[in-house]
Structure 1
Amino acid sequence: MAARTRRSSTRTLAALAAAVVLSLTSASVSTATPQTAATTERLSGTLPDGATWIADVPENWNGTLVVYSHGFGITVAQNAPSEAVRLRLLEEGYALAGSSYDTSKTLWALESAERDQLATLEEVAARIGEPTRTLSIGTSMGGLVNARLARSGAGGIDGALGFCGLVAGANDLNNYQLDAEYTIARLLLPDTDVKLVGFASQAEATATAQRLTAAVTTAQETPEGRARIALAAAFLNLPAWAPGQDRPAADDWADQQAQQYDWFARGILTFVEGGRYNIEMAMGGNNSWNKGVDYARVLSTSQHAPLVKALYREAGISLRTDLGNLTANAKITADPSAVATAERTSSVGQGLAVPLLDIHTTADNLVPVEQENRFADRVRASGDAALLRQAYVERQGHCTFTVAETVSALHALESRLDSGRWGASATPGALQTAALALGLDGAAYVPYCPAELTIGRRP
């Protein structure tokens, strides 16, 4: 009975997560009209841990096998980021595979994801023969899985392609999100005891999301509240460009804050708290903390600091006082074993064994583009910077890529593998030209350099 209840809870949260992702990634992106794929054989199976896998092998297989790592909230096997991408790649002759991971206990399935993806490659190769080339693709949480596969190079993987990847890892993710959640609770709900970590159930996580969202909604009605929302948004690394809107001017503080608020209104905190609950279950405890964090120092590193300072001035309240309040009362501590587990299962950047091309939108609400900067710093420190390239698409939302952007990036990775060097293939201009030449659904590759990830130093 307990197992059935747990599986039911996981399915319910998976449905909720999928709905929230859809609402938070609603930037207008056209999709290519699906073409009829060449004759394709569908293979499937179940792995020892209960994870399922699927593979599609076109009659005109070109010898390349692509393993796709899906994102958070998905409980079934997928082998492509979208149906339109799947059909296009099959048409070009790629074989596609992917597993569900073992999501029976938690949707944060990093403990099993690599193992299940590698087992899937073995199962598929046993059915169709050894591929001449194996590529890895991942999106969102699957981008973290993908980067870990690129780090190990296991399974004969020759190269990797990440989209909107959560490449800063689980400890960084939960820590900067905690900074934002704590700011909302401390400054907007000063007389309310809000549970921020150590959730015992999905219901507790949902209750926290509802309280914090309601506080933000109420605060938006006053200048003081809007200033404090902007402070929390800065700690959340939340873009000031929302779906369906024009990008605000660099000095239009009111519009920037309104567009950050739009992300809150769309339910981002529901997704954040649901994700925290699942990560904590996977880690066996709370892996985030803020004791010892200097919040004035944190804000000084944020690209949104000018926005926050301007709104505090307009509201006539003291930013120094609020930052001092946050610093003095930051007392949340982590479970050391949970931190260690997250470092072991859910971190990347310690090195690369194969070439990796990472693609990110410039205004990603769920996995901030600033994570790419954090990841690149770690790869550089490992001595493997030559294997990494990163490129950016000027668009709002999480994983809102066109088919053309996706396919041209895959071709750029293959060019790197064919020639042994990146050359110009992964530059914004080359990617944009290649994507438009496909005649599909457009592209928006641009030169871009992400800001530093806003996250406090953790003693």
Structure 2
Amino acid sequence: MSAVTRSRASRTRLRIALAALATLASSVLTALPAPAAEADTAAAGHLTGTLADGATWIADVPERWNGTLLLFSHGFGPAVAQDAPTADVRTELLAEGYALAGSSYDPNGSMWALNSAERDQFAALDAVTAEIGTPRRTLAVGQSMGGLVNAQLARDGGGRIDGALGQCGLVAGATDLDNYQLDAEYTIARLLLPGQDLKLVRFDTAADAATTAALLTKAVTDAQGTAQGRARIALAAAFLNLPAWSPGKDRPAATDWVGQEAQQYDWFAQGILSFVEGGRYAVEQSAGGSNSWNRGVDYARLLAGSAHAPQVQALYRAAGLHLDADLRTLTEHATITADPGAVRTAQRTSAAGQGLEVPLLDIHTTADNLVPVEQENRFAARVRAAGDGALLRQAYVERQGHCAFTTAETVAALHALEHRVGTGRWDDAATPAALQRSATALGLDGAAYVPYQPARLTVGRSPSRV
């Protein structure tokens, strides 16, 4: 049985120092409270405990619990229990009457904790309900890597959870992630560091990953000074599914190819490759080897499927470079193979979209540098193929950055999910117009829901075909 401690503070703030690689932003999860008398609760306050595998869990229960429990799945970073994305989120939720819970995932392995996350979240749910009583309703919430965990809970949690809200979720899974990131890394290494034997996969240590990240970042920085270099940076950015809109900048015009590349470069200059390589090391730890490959990839065909292809073509023409020659070079030298066992492990532990058992609403920013919005397209196609498209809704916020949601945007999304859970129908609750009206009416911190259809994810292969 879990060891439990209690404090009576109903709005305890938790500030957690996450690794620099893990980017989390503010979101708020609230809904219309039910009468307190409907809740079956034995205790209020801050609860903690430890699970069988060493994972910890926490929960915060308000004095007047509305009977709904939110099970939060945190993103990539240290294995520290969280039950909300930020202290502000926690304060708002507790004020609305929600109970909050979440686990650390197993702290003894990789920060890519997909080997244990789903199991630990369900175990935390059991531990919390043993302490506070059975919720009237349980909703899963997850962001970033936790959005992938959240999609798995929505797939497997029928009878244990009633619905799920995903934020900026890495829903395409680990192998798609590592493959399109490999295409970008490989392009930089082959075209901007020709002749150098740069290690791109199978990192032995985190230091190896950091060394590769530093070399790739310096190559990009050096190349930005010439038209030829900028064209090749745009090619790598296209393979990375990198948005052409960076923080603090106005969005470039649709045919402002130079402006688009400049803002893609901003993401590189801010250190995105350190996140990429550090994340790859963690995934390889978790999967037991390299789950990415490029042998057999036709890079001309890959670029042709990218929404950024016109930009790349225009910049190559302006620079006097032969795009076909560079693409042919990439294809001819693509020899990196995967470890089949690692691919199988990642597909078993770190994939989603095989189906849904409860309603899932995903929200995503349109210019997400770390988890490209195109992942939602890939995920939706898999859910539809499994026959569960009616359970999925996706909505988009016009903003730059990863998980960069306002409080109002998240509140409105949760309300839309609760409408679906409560009525059995989505109606128009999850449409951009309805979400924007709902968020604006809250009078909090603004909203930017827009009609949007993400492009296809540029990845060019399937985890089932190694």
One of 79, 87, 92 as aligned partner of 1:88: 92
Q: How many Å separate the matches in 2 of 1:385 and 1:457?
A: 23
Q: Which residue of 1 aligns with 2:10?
A: none
Shift of residue 21, structure 1, vs aligned partner: 4.4
Q: How many Å separate the matches in 1 of 2:221 and 2:425?
A: 50
For 1:399, the aligned partner's letter is C
For 1:78, the aligned partner's letter is Q
**CA contact 1:72–1:107 (8 Å) conserved in 2:** yes
**CA contact 2:173–2:352 (8 Å) conserved in 1:** yes
One of 364, 367, 372 as aligned partner of 2:371: 367
TM-score (norm 2): 0.91
- Gaps (5+ residues) in structure 1? 1-13, 33-37
**CA contact 1:108–1:278 (8 Å) conserved in 2:** yes
Shift of residue 154, structure 1, vs aligned partner: 5.0
Alignment of 1:220-259 (within 5 A): 220-259=224-263
1:130 aligned onto 2:122: no
Q: How many Å separate the matches in 1 of 2:351 and 2:28?
A: 32
1:456 aligned onto 2:457: no
Q: Which residue of 1 aligns with 2:404?
A: 400
Shift of residue 438, structure 1, vs aligned partner: 1.1
Q: Which residue of 1 aligns with 2:6?
A: none
**CA contact 1:248–1:256 (8 Å) conserved in 2:** yes
For 1:241, the aligned partner's letter is W
Aligned length: 436
For 1:331, the aligned partner's letter is T
Q: How many Å separate the matches in 2 of 1:75 and 1:346?
A: 17
Shift of residue 439, structure 1, vs aligned partner: 1.2
Q: How many Å separate the matches in 2 of 1:51 and 1:426?
A: 35
Q: How many Å separate the matches in 1 of 2:237 and 2:282?
A: 23
Q: How many Å separate the matches in 2 of 1:422 and 1:132?
A: 20
- The structure-2 alpha-carbon separation of the partners of 1:386 and 1:155, relative to structure 1 and needing over 3 Å to count, comes to closer
**CA contact 2:162–2:358 (8 Å) conserved in 1:** yes
SS in 1 for 2:116: helix
For 1:313, the aligned partner's letter is R
String of CA shifts for 1:288-330, please: whole Å, max 9, x gaps: 0000000000000100000000000000010000000000000
SS in 2 for 1:65: strand
**In terms of mean alpha carbon deviation, does 433-442 or 443-452 score higher?**
433-442
Q: How many Å separate the matches in 2 of 1:233 and 1:452?
A: 15
For 1:328, the aligned partner's letter is E
Query: Share of identical aligned residues, percent?
Result: 70
1:376 aligned onto 2:380: yes
Shift of residue 52, structure 1, vs aligned partner: 0.6
Runs of 4+ in structure 1 over 3 Å off: 29-32
For 1:18, the aligned partner's letter is A
Alignment of 1:9-28 (within 5 A): 18-21=19-22
Shift of residue 30, structure 1, vs aligned partner: 11
Q: How many Å separate the matches in 2 of 1:155 and 1:95?
A: 19
1:43 aligned onto 2:44: no
**CA contact 1:85–1:407 (8 Å) conserved in 2:** no
Shift of residue 74, structure 1, vs aligned partner: 3.2
**CA contact 1:31–1:441 (8 Å) conserved in 2:** no
SS in 2 for 1:156: coil
**CA contact 1:118–1:155 (8 Å) conserved in 2:** no
One of 176, 182, 186 as aligned partner of 2:186: 182
String of CA shifts for 1:190-226, please: whole Å, max 9, x gaps: 1111000000000100000000000000000110100
One of 274, 278, 294 as aligned partner of 1:270: 274
- The structure-2 alpha-carbon separation of the partners of 1:242 and 1:31, relative to structure 1 and needing over 3 Å to count, comes to farther
SS in 2 for 1:144: helix
Root mean square deviation, CA, Å: 1.8
Q: How many Å separate the matches in 1 of 2:284 and 2:20?
A: 21
Q: How many Å separate the matches in 2 of 1:155 and 1:229?
A: 48
Alignment of 1:34-433 (within 5 A): 41-153=45-157, 156-433=160-437
Q: How many Å separate the matches in 2 of 1:353 and 1:430?
A: 25
For 1:345, the aligned partner's letter is T
Shift of residue 89, structure 1, vs aligned partner: 1.2
Q: How many Å separate the matches in 1 of 2:19 and 2:442?
A: 30
**CA contact 2:185–2:236 (8 Å) conserved in 1:** yes
For 1:261, the aligned partner's letter is Y
**CA contact 1:359–1:391 (8 Å) conserved in 2:** yes
TM-score (norm 1): 0.92
Shift of residue 86, structure 1, vs aligned partner: 1.3
Shift of residue 183, structure 1, vs aligned partner: 0.3
Q: Which residue of 1 aligns with 2:450?
A: 446
Shift of residue 104, structure 1, vs aligned partner: 2.1
Q: How many Å separate the matches in 1 of 2:94 and 2:444?
A: 15
**CA contact 2:68–2:138 (8 Å) conserved in 1:** yes
Q: Which residue of 1 aligns with 2:39?
A: none
SS in 2 for 1:422: coil
Shift of residue 20, structure 1, vs aligned partner: 4.2
SS in 1 for 2:460: coil
